[in-house]
Amino acid sequence: MPLSTNDLRNGMALALSDGLFSVVEFQHVKPGKGGAFVRTKLRNLRTKAVVERTFRADEKVEQALIDKREMQYLYRDGPQYVFMDNTTYDQMTVDDSSLAGAAPYLKEGDSAVLEMYDGEIVDVDLPAAVELAVSETEPGIQGDRVSGARKPATLETGLVVQVPLFVNPGDRIKVDTRSGEYLTRA
């Protein structure tokens, strides 16, 4: 669907010749001399790289319609993940590579919003933090309360994060899905 660069908004998806992009920031500039233009910051939906691009005012770009579907993660089948659409109850098998790094934060029964374009998953929206159980870590040593000291812990999904010394196997912790860091005990 052609769209004028004058109508750009933050979060809008664009299908450009070099990929699928989301508008992070835009600014209409009207210099004293010459024609007006639109300066943008665009995030590639597949690689997450941010690029700056300038368009002439009223230049036509292709708007991409992203289908956002809330799906429930059911189970893992080898290298693939099986999801169920929460509205139609259709099941969908997704490759690990399509989940864009979201796989370590998903446990059975969790919901995620899969963003799709032409039947291909381009992004996965997760909650800001997820609650996961610690499956393996060294036991905490009594009295060892050095400020800021950390140790590695393997979580139920296989994700390894640095946790404080007082966290033990079996504890449930909250992990930030954007940075992959320990937040707090749950």
Does residue 112 carry a pLDDT above 60? yes
Across 134-142, average pLDDT: 78
48 and 71, same domain (yes or no): no
Number of domains forming the structure of the chain? 3
Nearest to 100 by CA among 119, 114, 110, 86: 114
Q: Please, what is the average pLDDT of the chain?
A: 86
Report CA-CA distances (Å) from 27 to 88, 112, 173.
40, 32, 41
Q: Which two tokens stand for residue 117?
A: 């374009």
116 & 146 share domain: no
Tell me phi and psi for residue 28, to 5 degrees. -85, 125
Beta bridge pairs of residue 143: none
Q: What's the rounded Cα separation, in Å, for the pair 83 and 89?
A: 9
Model pLDDT for residues 22-66, shown as the tens digit of each residue: 999 999 988 888 889 999 999 988 788 899 999 988 889 999 898
CATH number at residue 138: 2.40.50.140
Is 132 strand, coil or helix?
Answer: strand
Q: pLDDT tens digits for 93-111? A: 888 888 868 888 888 888 8
Question: What is the separation, in whole angstroms, between the first and last Cα of the chain?
Answer: 46
- Classify residue 51 by burial, with Cβ atoms within 10 Å: 0-12, 13-18, 19+: middle
Distinct helix (H) and strand (E) counts, the chain: 0, 16
Task: Report whether pLDDT(134) > 60.
Answer: yes
Residues 10 and 58 in one domain: yes
Which H/E stretch holds residue 112? strand 111-117
CA-CA distance, 155 to 169, in Å (whole number)? 9
Do 49 and 72 fall into the same domain? no
Task: Kindly report the pTM of this predicted structure.
Answer: 0.73
- Measuring CA to CA, which residue among 120, 111, 25, 26 is closest to residue 64? 120
* Residue that is last in its domain, among 39, 62, 85: 62
